[in-house]
Amino acid sequence: MAILEVQGLKKSFDHLEVLKGIDFSLEKGEVMSLIGVSGSGKTTLLRCLNFLERPTAGKIVVDGDVIFDADDPLTQKESEIRRKRLHFGMVFQSFNLFPQYTALGNVCLAKELLARENPEFKGHKKQMLDRIREEGVEILTSVGLQDKLDYYPHQLSGGQQQRVAIARALMLEPSILCFDEPTSALDPELTGEVLKVINALAQRDATMVIVTHEMKFAHEVSDKVLFMDQGVIVEQGTPQQVFEHPTQQRTKQFLERYNE
């Protein structure tokens, strides 16, 4: 069974239809890259998966559970949105770190807030917070930042900040990691260190959806590639199928621009 199924997903802003019926599935441990020109709907798709935007139509199914159905109001309760977001770890273009917290503080914050809602927190506060801190140190170490735990965002390079953002997403153990152009805000020399971390996650069978313009990276790391244009999926398949043997003219034209 697919861990993620998206069925007929649409999103409109007033009279502008940005997503026009998106269908795909993703198996556990697969990496899917979304490619396409700016404005094709890739970021909107990620934001719909993470409930930062509410889809206009369609279904989102995670591990067999319908977490959103535009025709079923029971799946759209605001009180349930935060819980449903826990399925998806989101890494944005611009890091979005809290400047007043250290790297470790940023990584631990969400889990600490959730812990405080636990009925057992009051009686086991120290043990629970110590365990969360230990997990945060482990995850920051896994992305190569064991010596930056107490650094604030302004003391870190762009690449280091993005690795903190990845660690923060990992901290809540999401079913699916979503990356929205994770290297677009980085200088070329810092891009490699972030891609190296994402590649390591792929090697550990993390399930990921990645919006990217890094074509070489998408070719090497992805199990599936979706090419989007004007709110629809024009072509999808393995990296070899899409990059080496595209069948649609729009896909060919897009890839030719990147190969020039």
Residuewise pLDDT in 10s, the chain (260 residues): 799 999 999 999 999 999 999 999 999 999 999 999 999 999 999 999 999 999 999 999 999 999 999 999 999 998 888 889 999 999 999 899 999 999 999 999 999 999 999 998 889 999 999 999 999 999 999 999 999 999 999 999 999 999 999 999 999 999 999 999 999 989 888 999 999 999 999 999 999 999 999 999 999 999 999 999 999 999 999 999 999 999 999 999 999 987 66
Alpha carbon distance 120, 122 (integer Å) = 6
Alpha carbon distance 31, 210 (integer Å) = 8
Q: Which residues contact 113 (CB under 8 A, 6 or more apart)?
A: none
pTM of the model: 0.93
| Segment holding 217, helix H or strand E | helix 215-221
Alpha carbon distance 245, 230 (integer Å) = 21
Other residues' Cβ atoms within 10 Å of the Cβ of residue 183? 23
The angle formed by the CA atoms of residues 10, 12 and 16, to the nearest 5 degrees, is: 130
Strand-pair category, 224-229 with 232-237: antiparallel
Strand-pair category, 16-26 with 88-91: unpaired
